[in-house]
Amino acid sequence: MSTCPFRIIKGDITKVKVDAIVNPANSWMIMGGGVAGAIRRAGGQIIESEARKYAPVPVGRAVVTGAGKLPCKYVIHAPTMERPAMRTTIDKVRAAVRAALRAADDARIKSIAFPGMGTGVGGLNPREAALAMVETIAEELQRLSNVNEVLLVAFNEELYHAFMEAVLKVIKECKDVLRR
The CATH number of the domain holding residue 76 is: 3.40.220.10
Neighbours of 172 (CB within 10 A): 10
Determine, yes or no, domain membership for 157: yes
Q: Which residues contact 137 (CB under 8 A, 6 or more apart)?
A: 6, 97, 101, 114, 150
At residue 81, φ and ψ (nearest 5 deg) are -155, 155
pTM, full prediction: 0.95
pLDDT of the residue at 171: 84
List the domain range (segments joined by +) for residue 162: 6-173
Q: Which residues contact 46 (CB under 8 A, 6 or more apart)?
A: 66, 68
Determine, yes or no, domain membership for 60: yes
Overall domain count for the chain: 1
Q: Tell me the C-alpha distance between 146 and 63, whole Å.
A: 17
Phi/psi-derived region of residue 127, left when phi > 0, alpha when psi is between -120 and 50, beta in every other case:
alpha
Determine, yes or no, domain membership for 155: yes
Determine, yes or no, domain membership for 1: no
pLDDT tens string 113-125: 999 999 998 999 9
Determine, yes or no, domain membership for 14: yes
pLDDT tens string 62-75: 999 999 999 999 99
Sign, Cα dihedral of 151, 176, 143, 120:
negative
pLDDT of the residue at 144: 93
Determine, yes or no, domain membership for 178: no
| Mean pLDDT of the region 14-31 | 97
Determine, yes or no, domain membership for 180: no
Determine, yes or no, domain membership for 162: yes
